[in-house]
Structure 1
Amino acid sequence: MTGARTVTVHTLDAGAVTIPEPAWCLGHPDEPAEYRSDVHHTGPEHLVDYDRRATLAAELVEFPYGDHPVPSSVHLEILIPAVTLDPPGLQALAAVLDEQAAEVRRLALRLAVVRAGGDW
């Protein structure tokens, strides 16, 4: 990785840890991470609210020093509030889930680009 930025993150268990920082990383907090394995990179959050029926939240992450290191990946949460639905409501929810599936596919393509060395 020629010309890659590096950042020093302070931890309570390993002291200062210097790591390469991907271009998509939003930075690191000034306070120490509790453990070296907690050091991670986080990209911008991607939030899509589908008419309050369901929310998709995703962000690019990487945990280089985890107990099981995680390469660039997407952390994803899909939040669907508990509801009781009639047939039209079920159809509307299914449409939202179809939209979310399409968004997850787009995120998969973007992640593949990042893992191949491209930009998020």
Structure 2
Amino acid sequence: MSREPRTVTLVTEDHGRITLPEPSWCAGHAGHRPDSARIDVMHVGSAVDLTFLGIEVFTAELVASPYASTTTPRLGGRTPGVSVHPLGMTLDPADLYSLAGALDSYADRLRALADQLTAILTEEHR
């Protein structure tokens, strides 16, 4: 069974209507503005959020900018990456694993701080 690739047609200020392939992970272009330039077109996947006490701490999502001109690492581009906020960077797999490791380490440090606070509060109530 043959499957046609997905495409999307968007209006841009500088190139009019453009039709481009849409990756299977793209969540759509609901936020696309017709007054944006073609170079700003971006595929964005579903967000993965870390929310605590109602505050968004981190959000990450697959992204690719098919017409990007940048080749600067971590600023996004034609190759898919994961955009992480509030870092404001697009990470490759190695960077993403490093971030996950740093978050694991930070979680251990938070647990140690919670243990220290528990000891202090226990001591105060004696």
The alpha carbon displacement at 1:54 in A equals 7.9
Deviation at 1:26, TM superposition (A): 1.3
2:58 match: secondary structure: strand
Question: Which consecutive residues of structure 2, in runs of 5 or more, have no partner in the other structure?
Answer: 71-76, 88-104, 111-126
Residues 1:67 and 2:75 aligned together: no
Cα deviation, residue 67, structure 1: 1.8
> Which of 42, 47, 50 is the equivalent residue of 1:48?
50
Q: Tell me the matched-pair count.
A: 84
Q: Please give the root-mean-square deviation of Cα atoms over the aligned residues, in Å.
A: 3.0
- CA deviations 1:62-114 (Å, max 9, x no partner) are 100012233111001247xxxxxxxxxxxxx932679xxxxxxxxxxxxxxxx
| Aligned CA distance change for structure 1 residues 10 and 52 (closer, same or farther; 3 Å) | closer
TM-score (norm 2): 0.55
Q: Secondary structure at the match of 1:70?
A: coil
Which structure has more relative contact order (CA 8 Å, sep 6+)? It is 1
Partner letter of residue 64 of structure 1?
P
Query: Runs in 1 of length 4+ with deviation above 4 angstroms?
Result: 50-54
Question: Partner of 1:19 in structure 2?
Answer: 20
Q: Give aligned-pair identity as a percent.
A: 36
Cα pair 1:47 1:56 within 8 Å, conserved: yes
Q: CA deviation at 1:20?
A: 0.3
Selected match of 1:95 from 103, 107, 113:
107
Larger radius of gyration: 2
Unpaired runs of at least 5, structure 1: 80-92, 99-120
